[in-house]
Every structure is written in structure tokens, then in C-alpha cells.
């Protein structure tokens, strides 16, 4: 076709996996296009995917705003700051969140320009295999026909629905609607005590909603280190978040102004609850809608993920897939690492992602963050380990901050002292975990961290003290 635009690399999807892959490929000298269909309220392009538009970025904006509100209402007085007539301006809070999203959308478009990545606003579909590559048709505002020697699929994921309770984003909300409730609900129900449920539940509780979280599993945050999860459960419950574990959700009936959820509780008793709004956060499903996988024979697994090997290669030559649409944790930073590694592999380099050192963060207050293995995983694997913990209660900076909840926990190999996992619940856990990630990448021992000078007074001293505690020689506890 004469009007076909030719590229070395076409990236489908402009979320953290896709846009980063596009930039890295361009840095490596390839001609690169990135196609993304997300539109803003005015119909313009909104690259950045779930993370930027309805995930990481807007949720953190609201978490910050709601935390300010909670501090102003509950902790300023202790600091000697009296606030009279504190009120919530929810429209402004939501407007600010939208502005933060817009800045990030624009930032990505700027980065594309800077790196000479050609951006197409629309949906890319595999149209066929062309000589030495693939043909893709783009529909939407940036309609075009593209040919690519290499294709990187980074189409992300969508919220999983509960059968019989489709999202209307007004009453029954996914992560998208949960970020845009226009009036604080009196009673908010949340199904699924995972990352989204806890983060969004926290936001709306802080601004005044009565929040109940219904979780199917009998354990709270099963993937988190048990000691940390137990501490987090205690802290969240104390804050007023109601968490019911081991429930079995039955019928969900929507009315004009709310929803009735029938469920069986952990004791086997039938329950009926009324909520003004209901967030359903029970995981996400890979998004391959409209991709045309069948046209070229791109193989998916039985759960709908694109089949890839350890290097993100699909069953088709020169077609790669990264991020939420493939196996592994659905985390923006995992997608980014895969995107970079794939671009480097296309260039003949040896891109690598270390799945053992991908940090996890849950942005509640206090935050929960971890890297590596949990105590229960080590026990199950029969690995002999030593543990050391240090509470923020004994950290000077945490006392000055007025946030002494939680702890840092180190798990180290009993023989070699190599750090096997670090788990934090407490203030700024999301920032503190970086030190542990770096340490584990360098295969440090707990003694290495214990011997490194940490600034005083800082929260990071709790990390050093937890490392010292592995050898039972904490200095401040
Ligand atoms: P999730 O997998 O974190 O949690 C889902 C929860 O719902 C689980 O506890 C599960 O046991 C429960 N559940 C599943 N089916 C249920 C049912 N029928 N009834 C009651 N409970 C049920 O999924 P979530 O929170 O929806 O998040 C989706 C993805 O987005 C996750 O993979 C997460 O990693 C990612 N994400 C990451 C964030 C971060 O890194 N801070 C923030 C938000 C999302």
C-alpha cells in the first residue's frame, strides 16, 4: 500500500510498558511509532494507560489530598495548629486530580516528541503479516496503516467484573468510577481487600465515608508477610475501616440511589448490606480487545493473557508483549522494566528483568511495601532464615512526624546472611523500600545494611536498625 507508514518498531499501547518501550527503542536508533487509543474528556489523546489515567497517578493524587484533609482534621491540633471551620471541597479535589493526570498525559506526548517517537491516537489492530514484518491498521482520530518489523504489544488490562454486577461507574464502580465519585458516599461498600480496594477505601474513608470492605479469602492480604499484614489490619481497623474476611458474595441488586449486597459471612450467616456506592476491585483481566490476535495467530493462554516466554517473546517472530497483558504482577514498574528489556533485545542487547527484586507498594496510610520473600514463603520452601524487626515507635524522625505506626522487617539467610526479603508497614514505606531493592540487587547481607551510615534523624534509620536486629543488636530498641 502506497500510503503505509513504515517503522522498525510499532508499540501498541501507551501505558508505562508501551511508552517506555517506545522511548527506549527510539534511543537505540530505531524508527518508532506508538499507538494509543485513550482519550481525554475533550476527545484528545491521553497516553499513559491505566496507570496515568485511572490508576497509579490519580489515586495517589486523591490519596495525598485526602490525607491532607485527615491531618487537618485530626492531627494538626496536636502540632499546635488550630483549623476552624474545616470543610471539604470535593469538586476542587477531583479537579486537582484531573490536572495532575493531564500534566502526565502531556508529559508523555512531550517525551514522544523529544525522542522522535511518532504517536498515533487510535486503536491498532493486526491486519496481517507483511514481508519482513506486520501490517497494522489504526482506527480513530489518528487513522493510518502502519507496517512494522517489530511489534510490541502493551495493551494492559481491564477491571474484572462480578457476574450479575456490571460496572455502570455511577453506583457500581471499577477503579475508574472510584476515582470520580461526585459526592462523598454515606456508606461505601468495597468488594475485594486487594490493592485497589484498600487504597480507594482509604481515600473515601478519610473524607467521611463509612467504608466496609468485603473480602472472599479468610486471610487479610495473603500475599503480604503475615506479621506485616496483621499489623496493617490492626491499624486500618483502628482507623475505622470495616474489613470482613471470608465472605461469599451472593446477589447484588442495584437501585436508583444505591445497591444491596447479599453475602454469606465467615460464620456462614446470611447478610444483607445497603451501600450508596459499591467499588468492585477483585483483580484485573488482560486486554486484547480489538487487537486482531486471531488475524495473525498470536497465541493467548487460557486466561486470555498473551503467551510469552521469559524474554517477552510471543509465538510470532518479532512480536513481543509486555506489562499487564502478559504473566507476572500487574505493576507499572514491572511493565516498564519489560518494555526497556524488549527494546534492548530488539537491538541485540541483553535486556534483563529481575522478577525477584520487583518492589510492591500499597499506598494506604501507613503505606505497605515489600520486596523479596515473605516469612511464610521461606517457611514453605524450607529455607532457614533469621528475622529482625524495628518499630517506627522507636525512630526519632517518625516521632517528630507524628507517625509512629508500623515497622521494618528484614529476613536474611540463616547461613550466608543474604537479604531474602524486606517488609515495611509505616510512613513513607514506598520510598524506604528502594534501599532494600538496591541491596537485594547487589545481593547484600543484612550486615552490609547494618554497617552503612544512615542520616539522622531519618526514617531510613529504621531500616538500618531492622538490619541490626537480624543479629539481635538494635541500638535504639
Ligand atoms: P488484587 O488482586 O490486588 O485484589 C483483589 C482482591 O479481591 C483479592 O484479595 C481477592 O481475594 C479478592 N476477591 C477476588 N474475588 C472476590 C470475590 N468474588 N469476592 C470477594 N473478594 C474477592 O486486585 P485489585 O485490587 O483489583 O487490583 C488489580 C491489580 O492492579 C493488582 O494486580 C494490583 O497489583 C494492581 N494495582 C497496583 C497498585 C499499586 O501498585 N499500588 C495500585 C492499584 C492496583
- pLDDT tens for each residue of 53-112: 999 999 999 999 999 999 999 999 999 999 999 999 999 999 999 999 999 999 999 999
| CA of 313 relative to ligand 1 center, distance in Å | 27
Q: Which atom of ligand 1 is nearest to 324's Cα?
A: 32
Please indicate whether residue 196, judged by its CB atom, sits closer than 6 Å to ligand 1: yes
| CA of 194 relative to ligand 1 center, distance in Å | 4
Q: Are 182 and 134 contained in the same domain? A: no
Q: Are 386 and 322 contained in the same domain? A: no
Report residue 153: phi and psi, to 5°. Answer: -95, 125
In a domain, 167, yes or no: no
Q: Are 366 and 463 contained in the same domain? A: yes
Q: Are 11 and 25 in contact (CB under 8 A)?
A: yes
In a domain, 458, yes or no: yes
Question: What CATH number should be reported for the domain holding residue 342?
Answer: 3.50.50.60
What would the grid cell of residue 454 be? 544512615
| CA of 10 relative to ligand 1 center, distance in Å | 31
Q: Pick from 63, 282, 333 the residue to mutate for probing ligand 1's pocket: most ligand atoms within 8 Å of its CB.
A: 282
The last residue of one of the domains, among 325, 353, 381, is: 353
Which residues are annotated as catalytic?
Answer: 456
Number of domains in the chain: 3
In a domain, 268, yes or no: yes
Q: Are 34 and 135 contained in the same domain? A: yes
Report residue 78: phi and psi, to 5°. Answer: -65, -30
> Whole-prediction pTM value?
0.96
Q: Are 127 and 274 contained in the same domain? A: no
The last residue of one of the domains, among 309, 324, 353, is: 353
- pLDDT tens for each residue of 419-440: 999 999 999 999 999 999 999 9
Please indicate whether residue 365, judged by its CB atom, sits closer than 6 Å to ligand 1: no
What is the mean pLDDT of the segment spanning 380-408? 97
Q: Are 109 and 15 contained in the same domain? A: yes
Q: Are 240 and 305 contained in the same domain? A: no
| CA of 75 relative to ligand 1 center, distance in Å | 30
User: Which of 320, 316, 310 shows the shortest CA–CA distance to 346?
Assistant: 320
Euclidean distance between CA atoms 463 and 133, whole angstroms = 50
Q: Are 288 and 296 in contact (CB under 8 A)?
A: no
Buried b (16+ CB within 10 A) or exposed e, 362-391: bbbbbbbbbbbbbbbebeeeeeebbbbbbb
Q: Are 153 and 22 contained in the same domain? A: yes
What would the grid cell of residue 261 be? 449486597
The last residue of one of the domains, among 282, 315, 331, is: 282
Question: What CATH number should be reported for the domain holding residue 440?
Answer: 3.30.390.30
Structural domain including 430 reads 357-470
The answer, yes or no, to whether residue 391 has pLDDT greater than 50, is: yes
Q: Coil, strand, or helix at residue 245? A: coil
Please indicate whether residue 363, judged by its CB atom, sits closer than 6 Å to ligand 1: yes
Q: Which atom of ligand 1 is nearest to 162's Cα?
A: 18
Q: Output the residue whose Cα is nearest ligand 1's atom 23.
A: 283
**What is the share, in percent, of the chain residues with pLDDT greater than 70?**
100
pLDDT of residue 2: 54
Amino acid at each position: 500500500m502506497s500510503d503505509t507508514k513504515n517503522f522498525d518498531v510499532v508499540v501498541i499501547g501507551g501505558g508505562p510498558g508501551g511508552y517506555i518501550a517506545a522511548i527506549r527503542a527510539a534511543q537505540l536508533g530505531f524508527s518508532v511509532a506508538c499507538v494509543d487509543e485513550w482519550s481525554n474528556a475533550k476527545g484528545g489523546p491521553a497516553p499513559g494507560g491505566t496507570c496515568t489515567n485511572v490508576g497509579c497517578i490519580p489515586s495517589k493524587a486523591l490519596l495525598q489530598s485526602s490525607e491532607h484533609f485527615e491531618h487537618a482534621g485530626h492531627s494538626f491540633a496536636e502540632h499546635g495548629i488550630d483549623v476552624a471551620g474545616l470543610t471539604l471541597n470535593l469538586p476542587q479535589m477531583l479537579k486537582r486530580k484531573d490536572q495532575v493526570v493531564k500534566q502526565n498525559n502531556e508529559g508523555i506526548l512531550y517525551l514522544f516528541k523529544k525522542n522522535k517517537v511518532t504517536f498515533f491516537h487510535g486503536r491498532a489492530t493486526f491486519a496481517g503479516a507483511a514481508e519482513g514484518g506486520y501490517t497494522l491498521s489504526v482506527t480513530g482520530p489518528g487513522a493510518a496503516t502502519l507496517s512494522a518489523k517489530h511489534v510490541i504489544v502493551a495493551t494492559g488490562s481491564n477491571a474484572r467484573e462480578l457476574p450479575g454486577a456490571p460496572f455502570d461507574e455511577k453506583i457500581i464502580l471499577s477503579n475508574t468510577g472510584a476515582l470520580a465519585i461526585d459526592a462523598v458516599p454515606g456508606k461505601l461498600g468495597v468488594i475485594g481487600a486487594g490493592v485497589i480496594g484498600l487504597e480507594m477505601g482509604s481515600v473515601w474513608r478519610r473524607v467521611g465515608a463509612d467504608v466496609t470492605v468485603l473480602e472472599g479469602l479468610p486471610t487479610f492480604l495473603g500475599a503480604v508477610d503475615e506479621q506485616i499484614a496483621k499489623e496493617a489490619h490492626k491499624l486500618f481497623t483502628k482507623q475505622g475501616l470495616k474489613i470482613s474476611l471470608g465472605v461469599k458474595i451472593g446477589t447484588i441488586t442495584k437501585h436508583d440511589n444505591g445497591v444491596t449486597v447479599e453475602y454469606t459471612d465467615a460464620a456462614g450467616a446470611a447478610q444483607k448490606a445497603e451501600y450508596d456506592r459499591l467499588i468492585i476491585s477483585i483483580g484485573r483481566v488482560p486486554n486484547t480487545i480489538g487487537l486482531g490476535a486471531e488475524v495473525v495467530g498470536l497465541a493467548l493462554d487460557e486466561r486470555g493473557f498473551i503467551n510469552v516466554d521469559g524474554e517477552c517473546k510471543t509465538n510470532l517472530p518479532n512480536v513481543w508483549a509486555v506489562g499487564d497483558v502478559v504473566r507476572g504482577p500487574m505493576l507499572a514498574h514491572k511493565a516498564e522494566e519489560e518494555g526497556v528489556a524488549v527494546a534492548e533485545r530488539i537491538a541485540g542487547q541483553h535486556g534483563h528483568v529481575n522478577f525477584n527484586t520487583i518492589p510492591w507498594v500499597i499506598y494506604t496510610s501507613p503505606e505497605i511495601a515489600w520486596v523479596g520473600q515473605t516469612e511464610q514463603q521461606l517457611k514453605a520452601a524450607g529455607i532457614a532464615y533469621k528475622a529482625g524487626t524495628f518499630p517506627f515507635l522507636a525512630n526519632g524522625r517518625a516521632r517528630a512526624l507524628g507517625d509512629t505506626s508500623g515497622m521494618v522487617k528484614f529476613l536474611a539467610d540463616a547461613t550466608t546472611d543474604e537479604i531474602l526479603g524486606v517488609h515495611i508497614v509505616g510512613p513513607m514505606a514506598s520510598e524506604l523500600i528502594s534501599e532494600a531493592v538496591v541491596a537485594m540487587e547487589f545481593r547484600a547481607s543484612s550486615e552490609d545494611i547494618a554497617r552503612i551510615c544512615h542520616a539522622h534523624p531519618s526514617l531510613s534509620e529504621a531500616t538500618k536498625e531492622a538490619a541490626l536486629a537480624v543479629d539481635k543488636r538494635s541500638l535504639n530498641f
